[in-house]
Amino acid sequence: MKYDLAGVVEEVSNGGASIEATDDFVFYLESFGQLSCKQIMEKAVEEFESQLIEFQKLLK
């Protein structure tokens, strides 16, 4: 079942759900057809790694 934010807030405030902290990171990725979700994720990780390397250089 998919909720919108207002529905989740209402359910939590009524005691119908609980929120627990975890180390999980959940996100949704939607493709518009030009690239597959896998390709989008691979390019995003490549770019993130590139920016981290640049950040490390700036720290030195």
Instruction: Give tens-digit pLDDT for 4-55.
Output: 777 777 777 777 667 788 898 888 899 999 999 999 999 999 999 999 999 9
The b-or-e profile of 7-38 (16+ CB within 10 A means b, else e) is: eeeeeeeeeeeeeeeeeeeeeeeeeeeeeeee
Structure token pair of residue 50: 């590139």
pTM over 0.75? The answer is no
